Chains A and B, each alone.
Chain A
C-alpha cells in the first residue's frame, strides 16, 4: 500500500531535490523530494541508505556472546541493545525474575543510558534549531554555536550527558560497549567509590534536568502555533507501561497501544506475545521496514513510539518532579493527545528528568553494592526482550538450539517503529512549508527538523540482511523514465 505523497502518480519531468545526508541524526539517511513545475511537492520519502546485517550474522553464534555483539549496532544507545538482548536470553535460560541486585544494576545502567542519550539529542543535535530558528544561519546551527550563544545551556547539556555516561561506565565497565549484563544477571556490583562519586553529583543533575524541561516548555509556550502544528500527523502511540497501575516503565513492562484520540486500544500485552500484535511491511525504496498493528493493517495500524508516546501512554510517572512536568505537559494541551513531532523534545526532557530522579533515588540502595548477581531457571529455546530505549520500544527476539547457538533472530528497533511516522511528518512539512516556494537550505532544514524530533537512530534501524525488495529506476537527465527493474522480497 502507499500513502499520499509516498509515490508521485507520474514521476516524469519532476525535479528531484535530495537532502543527503540528513544531518545531526545518528546513522545515514536521505530525503528525496520530487517537485513539479509549479513548485508543489509530489513525492517525499525518508530513505535509509545503509544496512547492517546483525540478524543474520549472529546466527550460529553462542547465545552468551549476543548481548555484547549486538550492542555494536549503535554507538549512542548500545546499552539498550545490550539489555534487550540480555532480557531475551534471560528467558531462554528460564529466568523470568532476576535477583534484586541484577535487576537494580541493569536499571541503573538503563537510566544512565536514557539520561545521556536524551541529553545528547536535545543539546547537541536538536537545540540549535530550536534556539536559533529552523532557517537560521547554517554555520551557527551546531553545539559550538549553542556554546557561544548560551554557554550555560551548553555546559549543562554536556554535564548531563557526561553524568549519564559515568553511570553507564560504573555499571557496564565502559561508557560505550560495556559488558555489565549477562544472560541471567550481571557480572559486577557497583563499586563503593563509584556510588559515592555519583551520589555526590546526582542532586545537581536532577536540578539541571528540571531546568532543561523548563527550557523546552518555554519554547513551546513562546510559539504554540509552530510547535503544536509543525509536521503534525495524528497516530496511535505504543510503549511499555508498568503492569497493574500503568505507570511509565522504561525497563520491563507490558505493551499498551493508545489510539490517536487517547483511548486505550490494547493493553497488558506481555513481551513474549509481541508478534501477536505487530507485523512488518517492507517497501522497495527503503532498507527500513514499516511495522504496524496487525489488527488494523498497514494503512491504519502505524503508530509512534518514544518519549511522546510513553509520556502520554502512561497513567503517571512514578517520580515526583517528572510527574509534575507530565501534568503540565498534559494541561498545556487541555488533556488532549499531542501529536506534533516537536512535542517529542518536551517529553524527552521530562523523561530525562525522570531518569535523573531515579538514579538519585537508587544510589543509596544496598543491593547495588552487594547481593546475589545471577539467577537460573529451566533452559528453553525462545526468548523475547523488550525495553524502552531512548528512542522508543526496542524488541529483541531469539531462538537458541540445544547446542547453545542462536538459530534465528528478529530485532524491531525504536526507529523502525517510527518509520511511517517520520515519513508522514516529512510529507506534512513538505506540503505545508516547501510546496510553492523556492527551495533553499533553510527550508530544507525544516524537513530535517521534523525527522530530528523523532531522534532517529538510522544505523540501528537497518539491521536486516536478506532478500530485500528493490526497485531500480533508470531515468534520463531530464527525468524521463528509461527502464525499471523490480525485485520482489
Chain B
C-alpha cells in the first residue's frame, strides 16, 4: 500500500493530492491559512501575500505554491504572523479605512483579518489618498477608498459575468481600480447589482446602495465568529 503524500504544516501532517496548493490542501484538512485575494472559485492570484508561509526557509504564497511531499511549512508562527500584520498595516495606510463609520464593518475581511492577527495600530504613516466615490450607478456604489487591489471584482466580472467592468491601472504605488467605460463611471457600464462581481469584494468598495447599517453592528458575520472559522465554512468546489 502506497503512503499518502503529505507535508508538515506547523508540525502537523497534511495530506494532499497531486496539483493541490499548500493553501488548498490545508483547507481540505481543516487548517486555516489567512488570505484576502484568494477565492475558491478563482485561480490563485498571489497579490495580497497574506497567505505567506515559510517553506524550507523561503517565504512563499501558500495559494500559489504546489504542495510537495515532505515539505516543512510554517504558517501560524510569530515570525509569519508578524509579516502578515505588517502587510495588513500597509494595506490600511494605503487607502482610507475608517472602520468606525464604514458600513462594511463586521462584514469586511480586511478588518476581520486585522482583528484575527492582533493588529492594534496602523504603525505606518497614512497616505490619505483622495479617492472620490462613484455613485453614478442606480443600485451600486463604488468607494475606491477601501480598495486592496485583490482583483476579485476584475476577475469575477471578466471570467464569470463576461463583462470586464473593472481593471487595475498604473503600477506600484500609483495602482488603482478603474471602471471600463469611456467616462470612467460605473453608471455608464452594463454592470448589474446581481452580477457575481457585485458581491465578491472582500472589503467595502462595491456596495449595494441604500443598505448601509440595516444589519446592526454586533450581529454581523465577523462580529460573532472569527474569520478563521467563517472562512472554513465553505466547501471547496
Contacts of B217 in A (CB 8 A): 173-174, 178-179
Q: Is B2 an interface residue (CB 8 A)?
A: no
Q: Is B214 an interface residue (CB 8 A)?
A: yes
Instruction: Give A478 to B34 CA distance when docked, in angstroms.
Output: 65
Instruction: Give A64 to B102 CA distance when docked, in angstroms.
Output: 10
A68 touches B213 (CB 8 A): yes
Contacts of B173 in A (CB 8 A): none
Contacts of B234 in A (CB 8 A): none
Cβ-closest chain A residue relative to B213: A179
Which of B61-69, B132-140, B224-232 binds A?
B132-140
- Contacts A60-B132, A62-B141; A188 near B100 (Cβ below 8 A): no
Q: What are 6 A-B contacts with C-beta separation under 8 Å?
A: A62-B212, A68-B100, A179-B217, A182-B213, A403-B135, A404-B135
Q: Is A187 an interface residue (CB 8 A)?
A: yes
Q: Is B101 an interface residue (CB 8 A)?
A: yes
Cβ-closest chain A residue relative to B211: A64
Most buried by B among A60, A64, A67, A177: A64
Contacts of B133 in A (CB 8 A): 60-62, 405
B212 touches A72 (CB 8 A): no
A62 touches B209 (CB 8 A): yes
Contacts of A183 in B (CB 8 A): 212
B101 touches A404 (CB 8 A): no
B212 touches A188 (CB 8 A): no
Instruction: Give A404 to B136 CA distance when docked, in angstroms.
Output: 9
A404 touches B214 (CB 8 A): no
Contacts of A143 in B (CB 8 A): none
**Shortest distance from the beta carbon of B117 to any chain A beta carbon, whole Å:** 24
Identify the A interface with B (CB < 8 A).
60-62, 64-65, 67-69, 72, 173-174, 177-180, 182-183, 187-188, 403-405
Number of interface residues of B (CB under 8 A): 20
B135 touches A64 (CB 8 A): no
Contacts of B103 in A (CB 8 A): 64-65, 68
Instruction: Give A62 to B208 CA distance when docked, in angstroms.
Output: 11
Q: Is B162 an interface residue (CB 8 A)?
A: no
Chain B 119-135 interface 0/1 with A at a Cβ cutoff of 8 Å (1 = within): 00000000000001101
Given contacts A62-B209, A405-B133, A405-B135, 16 further A-B contacts (CB under 8 A): A60-B132, A62-B207, A64-B210, A64-B212, A65-B101, A65-B103, A68-B100, A72-B100, A72-B101, A174-B218, A177-B100, A182-B213, A182-B214, A187-B214, A403-B136, A404-B209
B101 touches A68 (CB 8 A): yes
Among B141, B210, B216, the residue within 8 A (CB) of A187 is B216
Among A179, A182, A404, the residue within 8 A (CB) of B141 is A404
Chain B 92-112 interface 0/1 with A at a Cβ cutoff of 8 Å (1 = within): 000000001111000000000
**Shortest distance from the beta carbon of B31 to any chain A beta carbon, whole Å:** 34
Instruction: Give A68 to B213 CA distance when docked, in angstroms.
Output: 8
Cβ-closest chain A residue relative to B218: A173
Cβ-closest chain A residue relative to B103: A65
A64 touches B213 (CB 8 A): yes
Among B207, B210, B212, B216, the residue within 8 A (CB) of A180 is B216
Contacts of A178 in B (CB 8 A): 217
Contacts of B212 in A (CB 8 A): 62, 64-65, 68, 182-183
Cβ-closest chain A residue relative to B134: A403
Cβ-closest chain B residue relative to A58: B101
**Shortest distance from the beta carbon of A402 to any chain B beta carbon, whole Å:** 9
Q: Is B77 an interface residue (CB 8 A)?
A: no
Q: Is B215 an interface residue (CB 8 A)?
A: yes
Instruction: Give A72 to B102 CA distance when docked, in angstroms.
Output: 12
Instruction: Give A187 to B212 CA distance when docked, in angstroms.
Output: 10
Cβ-closest chain A residue relative to B215: A187
Among A67, A69, A179, A404, the residue within 8 A (CB) of B210 is A404
Cβ-closest chain A residue relative to B141: A62
**Shortest distance from the beta carbon of A463 to any chain B beta carbon, whole Å:** 15
Cβ-closest chain A residue relative to B143: A62
Most buried by A among B101, B102, B211: B101
